[in-house]
Amino acid sequence: MKEIREILNALAVMRARGEPAALATIIRVAGSTYRRAGARLLIRQDETTVGSISGGCLEGDVAEAAREVLRTGRARLMTYDLTADDDAVWGLGLGCNGKIEVFVEAVRPDAKPDVAALLQACIDDRKFAALATVIASPPESDRTVGARLFVPEEGRVAGSLGDPALDARVTALARRQIADGKTTTVPVDLPGGRGELFIEVITPPLPLLVCGAGHDVVPLVRQAHEQGWWVMVADSRPAFATRARFPQADEVFLVEDRDVGRTVRIDRQTFVVVMTHNFLHDLEILRGLLATPARYIGLLGPRARTDKLLAELERTGVTLDDAQRARLYGPVGLDTGADSPEEIALSILAEILAVRNGRETTSLRNRRRPIHDPAGAESVAASLADAPDRPRRG
């Protein structure tokens, strides 16, 4: 998510200056690859870049294609098949043994709709969305390549694929993909024959709320910001809950402990870490958090302290069921032997990342399955003919 935020910031500057650019997006991978579908590389006219689509091996070749795309205005779909032994034929020496397809398109400052602005609004509002882009079409209708439909999880769509009926079907399918959280490619009937769509689910930044504003919160906020997460800090002390203290936070709240759960936007995607270093403050904050839909509530401190907090809550009539206990993580963080505030922050963020991705924490050398779970298009290949509305992600 950090990557897309940086690219959107760069596009906003370039749009204000009236400068065009090229955007390369991985639309499909197979086998072992460094990046997955949705990874992007922005190439400016001066050939400086933002983002990445590989470990540095493909960027030069894609930049060459970007120059041609900017000159002609015609998008290109490039395939790097590195599954064969003759990898050297590309002159790239990737050694990844995977297949990567990259869609390279021009980004004009006067393009309508302004997809970058729409995506920025989704990030700011912490909303899911999908981009449906024509990446291949019959020769008779090659002008449709690059046509795009922006589909928010709720509300009005923007753009068009050139046909209202097709727009309606793709909108329904895109919202199904948002609900499933899966980016995919699907075949599509276009004027003149068969084409292909890339439907990318845009996930908003992971929302992290840190309750407390002590010195050890500073590295946690800094490291979370570096991941591109949406970072919020809440504290009841005016001298601590300041923008000056946390310049990298997206939001800073000066709020009483009892009001945190009502003041801060906390939804089912929100991860919360409570680290005030004060038992009574933690107790009041935790009481309010349990009434929110927060996905994860981490409690800094030893297990005995967490047990004491829960016992005190129960004594005052707050009983936790199994579902409530399942989202409590106390002590917070992975067992890495962390000691310094920076190490503890890393331990906490690693645990949050694992929980968000549904992973058990173990060394990759002990994992017998692929590093990345494969996401194919088989289950949705025929969905354009029948794309029922599915419950949307909240």
pLDDT tens by residue, 47-89: 899 999 988 888 899 999 999 999 998 999 999 887 765 544 4
Query: Are the beta carbons of 287 and 309 closer than 8 angstroms?
Result: no
- The rounded distance, in Å, linking the Cα atoms of 111 and 20 is 10
Of 325, 349, 346, 327, which Cα lies nearest the Cα of 337?
Answer: 346
CB atoms near residue 363 (< 10 Å): 6
Q: pLDDT tens digits for 162-220? A: 889 999 999 999 999 999 999 999 998 887 788 899 999 999 999 999 999 999 999 99
Strands laid side by side in the 158-160 sheet: 158-160, 148-152, 129-136, 193-202, 184-190
Helical axes 341-356 vs 217-226, angle rounded to 10°: 50
- Percent with pLDDT over 90 in the chain: 66
Phi and psi at 230, nearest 5°, equal -90, 110
CB atoms near residue 231 (< 10 Å): 25
Which residue, chain included where needed, has tokens 């591109």? 228
Alpha carbon of residue 264 to chain centroid: 21
- The rounded distance, in Å, linking the Cα atoms of 135 and 74 is 11
Amino acid, single-letter form, for residue 153: E
Please tell me the pTM assigned to this model: 0.83
